[in-house]
Amino acid sequence: MRAIREVGARAVFDSNGIPAIEVEIVAEGGVRAAEAAPRGSTTGEFEAYVLEDAAALPTLAAVAPALASVADLVRPALIGRDVCDQRAVDTALRELDGGAWFRRIGGNVAVATSMAVARAGALATGRPLYRHLAAARPSRLPVPMFNIADGAVGSNTVYTEFLLLPTTREPAAALDQGVRVRAALAARLAGKGHRCSDSTQGGWSVDLGGCEPTMELIVSAAEDCGLVGGRDFHLGLDLSGAEFAGPAGYVFPWSANPLSTADLARRYLDWVRTYPLTFLEDAFAPTDEAAWRGLRERLAGRAAVVGDDLFASDAERIDRGVAAGLADGALIKPNQVGTVTQALDALALGARHGISTVVSQRSGENASDFITHLAVAGGADWLKAGGPARMDRVAKFNELLRIAEELSREQPAGETEAASGGRR
């Protein structure tokens, strides 16, 4: 037992310059750790609540209600508890809130507290965080997938992330591939006279008039690096379906024609036939369940239909959705669900169902590498942490390199199944 001695908090900025709460835990023996809440740009309707004074944005004063929640509610409930008993701490946070989506204490407060406790618990035991979160030695590592481009504001792919999914199981080789394709894509964009600018998630912000020309160009950029689609890499799309769903159908920004779910599904099937596309995230709005099921049936495993906003990292929603045949993969973002234990439970459930699991960043991030440890501990198939640039993204990928090195030192090479390319 290592008792929590102090729970403090401060307002900090995230990678988008938006105020966030950072919680700091001090435990017996002088152990001290802090973690800040990440923040999504497209937030699903089923995810944990951000407690803040929205009127005070973008100043740090917006964090005042979250700071008060830590001081008045969380601190008294956690002082004296065992910092190493993550499940008990997270249960206490849920009981303290007493409702859904942490509307009382704040999902941002809950996740920052939960992550800081986990970090302090790992320090207290002297173990790496991934080992503290899962006692067993990881049998494999997640494969990094990269946001290589996303739609520029004002383009008709504004909500879309274009993902590169390396097939190699070796983290360093996957990262090498990510940076090479990213550079080759910049050269291709320049060659076509497109200005390319950094996206907030470490890829390139592009405006090529649609998904097809963008995928085309990424495949060409990969070929420039000697990489073959389907052999060395696959493509993925995060479509954020809810963002372009309207009463008349799905309307891409600046396009006058609404698409029915059947039209949209036909388009996706077309893309899967044409490109090495094997990963479709949030292809429809979460409420369009029949469309999800239909697409999954028609793809029949050729591409994974993956739920982000659909599941909001919630084990119960994943359980129901997978049983109903809606998806064969799930994103897990700790701040969607509120605590580390719930995120680990969702990962375990995904593994039991045999679906692909993807531990993911949010667009508003910080320099923490917490999600890398979570992905390793939870046996995730993939680590989705943005593009291979910008420290808020690269910090996560670099930590995967360190963990791979540590594991290879522990055991002779060859004994670890490094990673699998997902269970598609």
CB 339 within 8 A of CB 110: yes
Question: Using CB under 6 A, which of the segments 34-42, 104-112, 133-141, 312-320 binds ligand PGA?
Answer: 34-42
Question: Using CB under 6 A, which of the segments 10-18, 64-72, 284-292, 358-366 binds ligand PGA?
Answer: 358-366
Q: Contact with ligand PGA (CB under 6 A): which of 86, 108, 363, 368?
A: 363
Nearest C-alpha neighbor of 130 from the set 417, 374, 379: 374
Task: Report the residue number, 42 or 408, with the smaller CB distance to ligand PGA.
Answer: 42
Strand (E) or helix (H) holding 303: none
Q: Contact with ligand PGA (CB under 6 A): which of 317, 353, 384, 393?
A: 384
Q: Contact with ligand PGA (CB under 6 A): which of 132, 182, 188, 362?
A: 362
Chain centroid, CA 33 distance in Å: 22
Q: Residue 156: which of Zn ion, ligand PGA, none does it interact with, CB under 5 to 8 A by kind?
A: none
Question: Using CB under 6 A, which of the segments 126-134, 321-329, 359-367, 415-423 binds ligand PGA?
Answer: 359-367
Give how many residues touch ligand PGA by CB under 6 A.
10
CB 70 within 8 A of CB 96: no
Tokens of 22: 């950072």
Q: Phi and psi of 275, rounded to 5°?
A: -115, 165
Interaction of residue 238 with Zn ion, rule CB under 5 A: yes
Give the x-and-dash track for 283-312 against Zn ion (CB under 5 A).
Answer: -------------------------x----
Question: Using CB under 6 A, which of the segments 39-47, 206-214, 250-258, 395-403 binds ligand PGA?
Answer: 39-47
- The three-class DSSP label of residue 175 is helix
Reduced DSSP (H G I as helix, E B as strand, rest coil) percent helix, strand, coil of the chain, to 5: 40, 20, 40
Q: How far is the CB of 232 from ligand PGA (least distance, A)?
A: 23
Question: Using CB under 6 A, which of the segments 40-48, 68-76, 215-223, 283-291 binds ligand PGA?
Answer: 40-48
Distance CA 392, CA 414 (A): 32
Q: How far is the CB of 296 from Zn ion (least distance, A)?
A: 17
Strand (E) or helix (H) holding 218: helix 211-224
Interaction of residue 360 with ligand PGA, rule CB under 6 A: yes
Q: How far is the CB of 238 from ligand PGA (least distance, A)?
A: 5
Q: How many CA atoms lie within 13 A of 399 on its CB side?
A: 21
Task: Report the residue number, 168 or 335, with the smaller CB distance to Zn ion.
Answer: 335
User: How open is the CA angle 23-24-30, to the nearest 5 degrees?
Assistant: 165
Q: How far is the CB of 385 from ligand PGA (least distance, A)?
A: 9
Nearest C-alpha neighbor of 208 from the set 165, 148, 262: 148
Q: How far is the CB of 384 from ligand PGA (least distance, A)?
A: 6
Tokens of 225: 């690096």
Strand partners, 60: none
Give how many residues touch Zn ion by CB under 5 A.
2
Give the x-and-dash track for 226-245 against ligand PGA (CB under 6 A).
Answer: ------------x-------
Question: Using CB under 6 A, which of the segments 124-132, 183-191, 321-329, 357-365 binds ligand PGA?
Answer: 357-365
Q: Contact with ligand PGA (CB under 6 A): which of 15, 19, 33, 40?
A: 40
Interaction of residue 308 with ligand PGA, rule CB under 6 A: yes
Alpha helix stretches (DSSP H) within 72-150 = 75-78, 86-97, 107-125, 129-133
Q: Contact with ligand PGA (CB under 6 A): which of 16, 42, 125, 408?
A: 42
What amino acid occupies position 395?
A
Other Cβ atoms closer than 10 A to 169: 16
In the chain, count H helices and then E strands: 14, 15
Distance CA 208, CA 411 (A): 47
CB 181 within 8 A of CB 222: yes
Nearest C-alpha neighbor of 239 from the set 295, 158, 358: 158
Q: Residue 155: which of ligand PGA, Zn ion, none does it interact with, CB under 5 to 8 A by kind?
A: none
Q: Residue 384: which of ligand PGA, Zn ion, none does it interact with, CB under 5 to 8 A by kind?
A: ligand PGA
Site for ligand PGA, rule CB under 6 A: 40-42, 238, 308, 360-363, 384
Site for Zn ion, rule CB under 5 A: 238, 308
